[in-house]
Structures are given as C-alpha cells and as structure tokens.
Structure 1
Amino acid sequence: MALGYKDLLARADAAVKSYETADAPALIENPDVVLVDIRDPRELDREGLIPSARHAPRGMLEFWIDPESPYHKPYFAQDKEFVFYCASGWRSLLAAQIAQEMGLRSASLRGGIGDYKRAGHPIAERDRHPG
C-alpha cells in the first residue's frame, strides 16, 4: 500500500528531534545551531524569516547538503545542529529527516514560522543579496 503524507509525517516525527516555538530564542543565540528556513523565496518576501536563519529552498536541499554536489553550500559542512523550519512544520519535518539521513545532526521547529510569529518573536527581512 502506498504511503500518504500523514504516514510520511508520522514516520519523520518518530525519527527526528523537534523543538517547540518556546525554544526558538535559545536556538537563535546558540552558536552550535544553524536555523534553516526551507520555504519558497516568495514566502520569505511576504512573511520575513527568523533572525540569523539561513535560507535553503526545499527543492535544493539535498544538493546543497551533499559535498559531492556542484551546488553544495559549505555552511552545511559545519559540525552543528541544523534546525529546519517552514510555515507550519510539515515540510521542515520531512526536510530534517532527509538531512538526518544524509548525515547531518538535524531537527525541526514545530509549528514553523507561523507559531513563531503568533508567539510574538522578532522577524527579519530576507537579504536579497546575500554575501
């Protein structure tokens, strides 16, 4: 029988560490953590992102993580924990599972940026010309 999205999310939730929205301020300040926003660039433009977060579009994630890929991003080679987030936490949970399978220490932020914003935490604008 084929798996549906609920099955995939349940499997990922059982395998991946998740943080709650209340943990976000400490994660931002932790030098051993890299927050990774996997949302579409249009979502970032519309809603902003968590301060200090890196952007890695979900469609490029595997290519940016793999050091053998011509699209590899060196920040994924750091010995840090990568905490992925999206709008509501579903895409980031699946992304964190893939990252974990690719050898990264990874986690997901439950509730995504939606819960983060509702909790009143600060938002940053996307840098359209990252260095």
Structure 2
Amino acid sequence: MGVPGVAGHLARVRRGLARVSPAQLLAERAAGALVVDTRTPAHRAAQGEFPGALVIDRTVLEWRLDPTCPYRIPEATGWDLRVVVVCRHGYSSSLAAASLQAVGLSRATDLEGGVERWLAEGFAVHRGPVDLRE
C-alpha cells in the first residue's frame, strides 16, 4: 500500500498520469484535447475563467465524461478521448484524472500546478462567460 493518507494516495495516483505543463496544455488543446475545469465558483471568480475549458462540477465529472452514460455531455465521444483536468493547485485534478482513468478514460490527465502555475507562467484567463455543464 505504501504511505497512508492523502499525500501517499496522491503520489501513487500521479505515477499513473502523464501530467502536462501549461505550454503542453496549449498544444494538447490545439490537438483536440478536452479541457475540463473543476474549480469551485468561488475559485473561478477569484482566479478567472480558464480559456477554452468546459466547467464541470467534480461531483458529476465521471458521469458527464463516460461515453456510455445517459448523463454524458456530447463531447464524451469515446474511451480514447484526451481529457486534461484543471483545478486551482493541481491536487484535486490529479485525483479526478485518476478517477477518469479508473472508469475507462485511459488518456485522462491533469495540469501540473493547476491554474496557479498557469497564471505564474503568464498565461491568460478571462472573466466570463463559461461553458458550464451541469
């Protein structure tokens, strides 16, 4: 099992992810990756909206992206879909990406450092509107 607790779990999860940097995310998005922002409304209001991302609440993420689920979004076209999950710091997005992999989306990953790193590296956000998927 390794180290117990959330830190140990996070380390194990990340071994299975090919995480991307902000610059890599731009290339992924240009190549057709689906970018999903799971930040809370308060975090999005404070940091800004992530460009080109679909906003999906973490509580329904797997249902919206499972291509066989009746509650999926139209973009959930198949198990080979490349999904890059974004969160505030890059922690919960790693857990979300691992959960997506566990349900069959083997190409799911996340943004290293989250929106905090995105901003620190000088990449832009905007103030709205968003593509909110409930």
Both structures adopt the same fold (TM-score exceeding 0.5)? yes
Instruction: Say if 2:13 is the partner of 1:12.
Output: yes
Aligned to 2:113: 111
Question: For the residues of structure 1 that align with 2:84 and 2:67, how far apart are their CA atoms?
Answer: 19
Aligned to 1:72: 72
CA deviations over 1:80-108 (Å, ceiling 9, x no partner): 30001101110000000011111112111
Matched to 1:125, the amino acid is: R
Is there any run of 5+ residues in structure 1 with no aligned partner, and where?
A: none
Name the stretch that deviates more: 21-30 or 113-122. Answer: 21-30
Identity, % of aligned pairs?
29
Question: For the residues of structure 2 that align with 1:10 and 1:126, how far apart are their CA atoms?
Answer: 34
* Structure (1 or 2) with the greater helix fraction: 1
Closer, same or farther: CA 115–128 of 1 in aligned 2, 3 Å: closer
Structure 1 outlier segments of 4+, above 4 Å: 67-70, 128-131
Is there any run of 5+ residues in structure 2 with no aligned partner, and where?
A: none
Question: For the residues of structure 2 that align with 1:103 and 1:13, how far apart are their CA atoms?
Answer: 17
Q: Give the CA RMSD over aligned residues.
A: 2.3
- Quote the offset at 1:69 in angstroms: 4.5
TM-score (norm 1): 0.84
Question: For the residues of structure 2 that align with 1:5 and 1:72, how far apart are their CA atoms?
Answer: 29
Q: Secondary structure at the match of 2:19?
A: strand
